Structure 1
Amino acid sequence: MNNDKQTKEDSKPDEQIKRWRLILGQYADEHLNPNNDLNPYDRQIDQALNYLYQNEYRSRGLLTKDENAPKSKYGGKDNSVYNTVNWLRQTRKLFPKSTFERMQNQAIERYQLEGILNDPNAVKELQPNFNSVRLLMNLRGKLNNSVQEEVKALIKKVVEEILQKIKTNFINALTGKKNRFRRSSIKSNQNFDWRATIKANLKHFDQDKQRIIIENAIFNSRATRQLPWDIILCVDQSGSMDTSIFYSAICASIITQLPAVNLHLLVFDTQVVDLTHLASDPVEILMTVQLGGGTNIGYALNYAEQKITNPSRTIMVVVSDFYEGVSLTNLYNTVARLNANRVKMLGLAALDYDATPVYDLQVSQQLANRGMQIAALTPEHFATWLAEVMK
């Protein structure tokens, strides 16, 4: 028994040394693994890590593109057996999902791995999540033309997943309260009529278990509001706005489905591009926007002002970090003028990947002083806010 305990204690330092060896890579063999005693599974991990992180040595000029030294000592199975596609497949199997996604993101963002940027099959192997979309959008100018369709397919998967999560609640928030006199086939938590459900299922009361067996859940429809509103959505497309553009595109596509609401979609940096004709298709919006450049919010509002036909029934929504890149005078004067003309103005602060607000507090306060309501909200809460304004 004592011998078993001692063996376990002795194995702990060995395990720690092995982990350090995998972290530091094959360049640490001489000091941490002189006997080359990694097991087959550990060798696969070592090869997967080295395929990616040898790019760090190259980026620092310590390893040329053709070098792989020191050569692997595992029966000739060095890193040349990998290409980007099978590296992605193998890495997904070897590591937990969170670790794989981190390595995938570093391959795209930090090392701009050519295999991903130029190979459609590599894009197919990427984990379809918001962060991979964000990174590919930022690198779109470097993507090979042959991968564009696969990038579009990946964006579509992520967009559809998010739409499924937020669309029903978003529309319900904007189209009205529950109508207790009409039933609905849409099984939404917000539509659930618990009183009518209990009444309809009392006959199914289980005496032994002292509970009602729900055989027929009842849901109410929504009372449709006729909202004669024009919504002008102005979205900042400067480099820091990738997260907000993603969600703005999704929100725009939902708003276009609302009755009696006209949407204008404008994206801007120092220029303005009218994407109203694409507003119903978030994928096309995301494939069209060009992240980067400066910020001229005042110019965008001047452009948007020309779209106004009924000021008292117009909502101007500005999605931005409010870091204005030019003189603030035009911006402040324009907001004050729109407010005087009874245009409702909502300023939606940029959110980063963790949904943390990122915006200029001083400029935002000055805009609030001139009549623009400012908030930092997720899409669902934005819908509720928009509905309150339209009441």
Structure 2
Amino acid sequence: MQEEYLKRWRLILGGDEADGTGVSLSKEEIRMDECLEAVYDSDRSAGLGSSAPKVSRWLGDIREFFPQSVVQVIQRDAVSRLHLHELLTEPEMLEGVVPDVHLVATLMSLSRAIPEKSKATAREVVRKVVDELLRKLAGPTQQAVTGALNRSSRRRNPRYNEIDWNTTITKNLKNYQPDYKTIIPEIRIGYGRRRKAMKDIVLCIDQSGSMGASVVYSGIFGSVLASIPAVSTRMVV
């Protein structure tokens, strides 16, 4: 276990004069070290340069050695430290990256520089990130806006997501249909709300260059809010 910790420190420190661990790396660990060196010690190793094949191999290597959350951080650092923005206009590079919200913000800033041949790939990268964020944010956002459920109160004719299924089934047992093996829910019992739902929402968005990721999140929140019929949503950019 101690040797494993020392190897991690060796990868962090970068070797040579900075290395005080005294441990040796395996062939695979040396490849991992070279992936990190290309970004974080680029002055000595000449970095990734502007070679598309070299960057493409590097993208494959970091996906092999590191979990997705770490890959996203390394990609983001490579773009900012090594100025690889122009490579993101190439479809081959876009197909190799792991999509995340910061990459989407970078693509937004490069939108006018992306050639026609790369736009479809760039849109697909953006779509993957947006779909994932929508999956995570839609439910909590809608519940926060429409009001949290109050499970201590009951109401008749609730919306679908407010139905108390246990009570509703119990109340409708008399309506069981043997032929269909199901219950006809003549009476629906649901939960009340803790507070009055919001009606009018205004989102104010700062779209300056440093706020790229926030613009992405704000746009997704706006689309979720706009999908709620009872809410009037406006955006000030």
TM-score between the two structures when normalised by the length of structure 2: 0.63
1:153 is displaced (CA, Å) by 1.6
Structure 2 residue 104 is matched with structure 1 residue 129: no
CA distance in 1, matches of 2:147, 2:4: 65
CA distance in 1, matches of 2:58, 2:68: 15
Pairing partner for 1:248 from 212, 218, 227: 218
CA distance in 2, matches of 1:14, 1:181: 61
Alignment CA distance shift 1:19-1:244 (3 Å): closer
Alignment CA distance shift 1:196-1:150 (3 Å): same
1:94 is displaced (CA, Å) by 0.9
Alignment CA distance shift 1:33-1:119 (3 Å): farther
Alignment CA distance shift 1:200-1:125 (3 Å): farther
Pairing partner for 2:69 from 95, 98, 114: 98
The residue number in structure 2 matching 1:182 is 157
Alignment CA distance shift 1:115-1:83 (3 Å): farther
CA distance in 1, matches of 2:189, 2:68: 38
Q: Is the 8 A contact 1:22 1:46 kept in 2?
A: yes
SS at match of 2:205: strand
CA distance in 2, matches of 1:21, 1:152: 39
CA distance in 2, matches of 1:63, 1:45: 14
Q: Is the 8 A contact 1:232 1:265 kept in 2?
A: yes
CA distance in 2, matches of 1:232, 1:66: 44
Unaligned runs of 5+ in 2: 175-182
Q: Is the 8 A contact 1:117 1:144 kept in 2?
A: no
1:139 is displaced (CA, Å) by 5.1
Q: Is the 8 A contact 1:233 1:265 kept in 2?
A: yes
CA distance in 2, matches of 1:139, 1:85: 20
SS at match of 2:157: strand
CA distance in 2, matches of 1:128, 1:139: 15
Q: Is the 8 A contact 2:72 2:98 kept in 1?
A: yes
Pairing partner for 1:51 from 38, 43, 48: 38
Q: Is the 8 A contact 1:52 1:107 kept in 2?
A: yes
Identity across the alignment (%): 31
Give the RMSD, CA atoms, in angstroms.
4.7
Q: Is the 8 A contact 1:120 1:147 kept in 2?
A: yes
1:196 is displaced (CA, Å) by 1.1
CA distance in 1, matches of 2:139, 2:40: 43
Unaligned runs of 5+ in 1: 1-7, 68-79, 204-214, 268-391
Pairing partner for 2:28 from 41, 46, 56: 41
Structure number with the higher helix fraction is 2
CA distance in 2, matches of 1:160, 1:14: 38
1:148 is displaced (CA, Å) by 3.3
Task: Number of aligned residue pairs: give it.
Answer: 216
CA distance in 1, matches of 2:41, 2:216: 33
1:106 is displaced (CA, Å) by 0.6
User: Which has the greater radius of gyration?
Assistant: 1
CA distance in 2, matches of 1:14, 1:172: 45
1:161 is displaced (CA, Å) by 1.9
The residue number in structure 2 matching 1:165 is 136
Alignment CA distance shift 1:219-1:122 (3 Å): farther
CA distance in 2, matches of 1:247, 1:222: 30
Over residues 152-196 of structure 1, what are the superposed CA-to-partner deviations in whole Å (9 max), with x where a residue is unaligned?
A: 222222222222233345445555798833365x5x4xx241661
CA distance in 1, matches of 2:224, 2:38: 42
CA distance in 1, matches of 2:166, 2:8: 59
Residue correspondence of structure 1 range 277-288 to structure 2 within 5 A: none
Alignment CA distance shift 1:24-1:154 (3 Å): same
CA distance in 2, matches of 1:125, 1:119: 10
Residue correspondence of structure 1 range 226-237 to structure 2 within 5 A: 233-237=203-207
With 234-243 and 168-177 compared, the bigger mean Cα shift is at 168-177
TM-score between the two structures when normalised by the length of structure 1: 0.42
Q: Is the 8 A contact 2:102 2:212 kept in 1?
A: no
